Structure 1
């Protein structure tokens, strides 16, 4: 009768649980683990990059009221007081004169084409800023998933490394036993020792990678986590819906947030060009002014001559009119600004085209990547089963003398490499799906909530890094092969 499968034995050695041989015991009561949605909420509340992007957006929004102010009335008020002392030689005398003045002025632009186009440019710039901030919010969703599943990826890799180390330790013990009874030579022991030492070193590296992954979560959210929920193996691995690359490209071209922002950047540049050209046009303002002060302050002095008007101590003066300004020559400034604005428009159009091409490429590549991931998950799952069967057959061959220790060690390495490849592909599938949605402009927190439905609160990487049915499938495949 075949011995218990090697992978199951290795997992049992590291966790005390052989998922191929017996049902799982009731899970002990553990502290509540952090799930994906809570990590995302922490990131929204504490992420420095998002806070900086929000501040940038709010600052750029102020361009609209600033530009609009140039079309609204300008009202100013002021007051002044002064004293003048005049000395006369003939006749010898000194005149002291005190002046007081209060005034208010109003100016209302009637025709300011440049300021109107400046307002339109500011409105487009604000729309661009809002879309860029929304794109940053989407990026945070993806970044949260990348960091969260980066921890799970590192934990699964560590679990596989522990199981591999345990398997090589078991092989080393067997080699020593066989050497002691004369069934093998010292070479087998040395080969087994080398493989075990390498596996132990790899496990130490994997432990560091787990610590690094958790630190990345701290950087993202400014919070520390002791454990997080893992993903269930029942997560559906299916092709994107719709499974049509052209449909994803069309959606991405229409809805990608960065591409939409670049459209507004072009519109803003067009309005800025119109603004600069309007610098050649005349301007018309309505102006009004009111002044009140003593007669000296306003230049109304009493001459004392017969027939001349006599002014009281204080005088009121008001005026209203239209002010026309026709630009004739400004040293070439306006023409230079027009040329600059034209090149800025050309630049924004080229950047938009570059962005569009990148979006099309990303949509196609990511759609293809998701479909490749779907097939790879199936293939790598089968590879684990096949490698498990191959390892068992190789170990049997070693026991009867038809295979050597190097064959056994190589088979064990292949098995655990296939385990890592399988888990990595599962996480690639999740992240490629989210990246495709981001490119299409449809990525939302609800996508994280949907993934949250497949998180396991009592996830234990040391026993959950593989679905329990794989070892059973490998055993069935091995038994079927033994019939031939």
Structure 2
């Protein structure tokens, strides 16, 4: 006996009610999400502020080598009672005043010069740190963005499956009442339906959690997101792992940050060592004073010359500072080596992950096509009575699993591309724009296909 057909749409979902809330919302794409995150990220703002602060640090260090101009002046009320200087005592009140202008130009100051070089390296390290934070934010935003799309796709799959299972369950119950079915098929269909209802709740919660994670980065409500319609598998380009590792060693901002910190620590050693060097300066001064107890006396004086200050002993401060700076430089060197090993490993892992991702996307796409064909064939068999309810339930489960696997592989492929570039230190906003160009389908329109 033929069974009545059960309509199956294997790629679409009837979960329009789930997306009603976003039906009128403006679609947000990846570029917009990243721009929102970059504009509101406290970590980016903090790192940029510290980098800007270090620009002034260079000016402060440079000032020790720049001309120093000072002015001084004084005025006072003096009372003089002088005896024994002449035949009569002197008892006078007078108001002396004076002012001076002094110009000092350091000619040789080895410690200050090394400190300036260290401050430049520190500023460069913060610049590299800012780039590292920006790259990490791109990756975090993309991960959160596609996590929302992945969760929504899973929810659509579950809702579509739930609708199909409800129809199968109703049909099995109807056939049992008509005497053409059995209780085993009814119970099996109900069990699958109960499981799908539980999965729907879990999927709905997953969407909410994913949206909250994205909103935490963008500090904006996550409206409807532009989605991927399709994506061709793509492995690493260039295809040699060594090229990517070399790129990471040359371009990774966290390595550049560590190198600049190491260079700064070496300049600090030099500055500490030169703390015992003589400091040679050019000095010029003009002095004017009047109002002494000798009437009509006025003094004008100018001078120009060279002075040398040579700190011969400072209580061991120079030796201790030099030893401390050497120890810190050694620690920075070891830290750089550890970081280099980590970056190489992460780049190699990202390279292999992208290769696996491309293969996985191809495999899951073919598996989905196969599961779709099998589900249609099983449905036809059920309609003519050659397949049972349990068989169509099993086929539906395999199709749902294949669709979930393909969705996961699709978004993982995009993230794997970005992760490899991030590991190599070359991820930029241009990559965001390139991925954004692939996002031309809204979640709502996709659900209606």
1:55-454 mapped onto 2 (5 Å cutoff) = 55-85=49-79, 95-233=92-230, 235-296=231-292, 301-302=293-294, 312-391=296-375, 396=381, 405=390, 408-454=392-438
2:45 equivalent in structure 1? 51
- Comparing 247-256 with 114-123, which one deviates more in the overlay? 247-256
Q: Distance in 2 between matches of 1:10 and 1:64?
A: 61
Q: Distance in 1 between matches of 2:13 and 2:144?
A: 29
Q: Distance in 1 between matches of 2:418 and 2:5?
A: 39
1:280-328: CA deviation from partner (whole Å, max 9, x where unpaired): 21222222332222254xxxx53xxxxxxxx634322333333222222
**SS of corresponding position for 2:175:** helix
Q: Distance in 1 between matches of 2:223 and 2:339?
A: 40
**Cα deviation, residue 401, structure 1:** 8.0
Aligned 8 A contact 2:227 2:439 in 1: yes
**Cα deviation, residue 159, structure 1:** 0.9
- Comparing 207-216 with 112-121, which one deviates more in the overlay? 207-216
**Cα deviation, residue 433, structure 1:** 0.6
Q: Distance in 1 between matches of 2:328 and 2:5?
A: 71
1:34-75: CA deviation from partner (whole Å, max 9, x where unpaired): 222222333333333222221111111222111111101111
**Cα deviation, residue 143, structure 1:** 2.4
**Cα deviation, residue 215, structure 1:** 2.9
- Comparing 387-396 with 42-51, which one deviates more in the overlay? 387-396
Q: Distance in 1 between matches of 2:204 and 2:377?
A: 31
- Comparing 325-334 with 390-399, which one deviates more in the overlay? 390-399
**Cα deviation, residue 183, structure 1:** 4.1
Change in 2 beyond 3 A, CA 1:112/1:2: farther
Q: Distance in 1 between matches of 2:322 and 2:205?
A: 58
RMSD of aligned residue pairs (Cα, Å): 3.1
Aligned 8 A contact 1:135 1:257 in 2: yes
Change in 2 beyond 3 A, CA 1:88/1:328: closer
Q: Distance in 2 between matches of 1:272 and 1:150?
A: 46
**Cα deviation, residue 440, structure 1:** 1.9
Change in 2 beyond 3 A, CA 1:384/1:6: farther
**Cα deviation, residue 223, structure 1:** 2.4
Change in 2 beyond 3 A, CA 1:295/1:84: closer
Q: For structure 1, list consecutive stretches of 5 or more residues without a partner in the other structure.
A: 17-28, 303-310, 469-484
Matched, 1:42 2:36: yes
Q: Distance in 2 between matches of 1:278 and 1:258?
A: 30
Q: Distance in 2 between matches of 1:197 and 1:313?
A: 110
1:98-141: CA deviation from partner (whole Å, max 9, x where unpaired): 33222222222121100111111112222222222122222232
Q: Distance in 2 between matches of 1:430 and 1:312?
A: 90
**SS of corresponding position for 1:62:** helix
- Comparing 434-443 with 41-50, which one deviates more in the overlay? 41-50
1:8 equivalent in structure 2? 9
Q: Distance in 1 between matches of 2:104 and 2:315?
A: 27
Q: Distance in 2 between matches of 1:354 and 1:191?
A: 57
Q: Distance in 1 between matches of 2:421 and 2:5?
A: 44
Q: Normalised by the size of structure 1, how large is the TM-score? A: 0.81
**Cα deviation, residue 227, structure 1:** 1.0
**Cα deviation, residue 4, structure 1:** 7.3
2:20 equivalent in structure 1? none
- Count residues in correspondence: 439
**SS of corresponding position for 2:71:** strand
Q: Distance in 1 between matches of 2:168 and 2:10?
A: 11
